[in-house]
Amino acid sequence: MASIYLIRHGQASFGKDDYDCLSDVGQQQATHLGADLARKGISFDNVFRGGMLRHQQTAEACLHAMHAPAPIVANMTVNLDWNEYDHQDILAQLDRDFATPNGVKRYLSQQEKPNQALQSLVDKAFSRWISDDFAEQYTESWSAYQKRIQQALQSTVAQAPGAKHIAVFSSGGPIALLSQMLLKVPANNLMDLNWTLVNAGVTKIIVSKHGQVLSSLNDHSAFEGHNRHLITYK
């Protein structure tokens, strides 16, 4: 039996030209999570991450704070199947005005309630994608995305035989999708799950010969109490 710790990346540079980079807060979150895991006596036998910079930065900061053995860090496996969906493409297929971050920012600047407008925009765009009615329009269809994330989990288990504790540094989308599937939540509720995932939060899946079970979802106890200022969602 193995425990897979799905760790969402720390806060990225939302609204900046290069989103795929941890903010200062994101670096603090990753470091604080690592220190908290170390205090709890948790260590990892194998570590995997997606290929995005925010995955790498989160993994490095977290493992450094955990004082992870050098071989564990050096042998970290990069698996591109753990990468996030292409949110910019999903928005662009709803409306070409949203094909760039600047286009989205321009639209939101014209709204009376930007945060609500953003959530509404994302919900509409993702509902269209998840329907798979326009699959050929996307760089990656919803069905293809589902298969990719399931494959990521399967290959992670296969590549770590005998491991008891496995860390995976990824993004909200893959974590929400696996949680949605294991909980048997309708696909249309994917974004409801995704919106609640905290940066550097931990979701744990137990894998055994009997199958896969969601043990915990979005654990962010490391950031409660005096560290509540580190709780973010983007």
pLDDT digits (tens, 9 = 90+) for 64-117: 999 999 999 999 999 999 999 999 999 999 999 999 888 998 999 999 999 899
Q: Is residue 144 part of a domain?
A: no
pLDDT tens per residue, range 107-148 = 999 999 998 999 899 999 999 999 999 999 999 999 999 999
- Do 78 and 156 share a domain, yes or no? yes
pLDDT score of 15: 60
Is residue 132 domain-shared with residue 166, that is, in the same domain? no
Our CA dihedral for 152, 46, 210, 172, rounded to 10 degrees, sits at -40
pLDDT above 90: residue 14: no
Do 10 and 111 lie in one domain? The reply is no
The answer to whether residues 15 and 122 belong to one domain is no
Alpha-carbon span 164 to 10, nearest angstrom: 24
Write out the two tokens for 167.
């860390």
In a domain, 23, yes or no: yes
Classify each residue of 135-146 as buried b or exposed e, where b means 16 or more C-beta atoms within 10 Å of its C-beta.
eeebebbbeebb
Structural domain containing residue 111: 86-139
Statement to judge: residues 98 and 119 lie in one domain: yes
**Are 12 and 80 within one domain?**
yes
Provide the percentage of residues in the chain whose pLDDT is more than 70: 98
**One domain, residues 73 and 156:** yes
159 lies in the same domain as 69:
yes
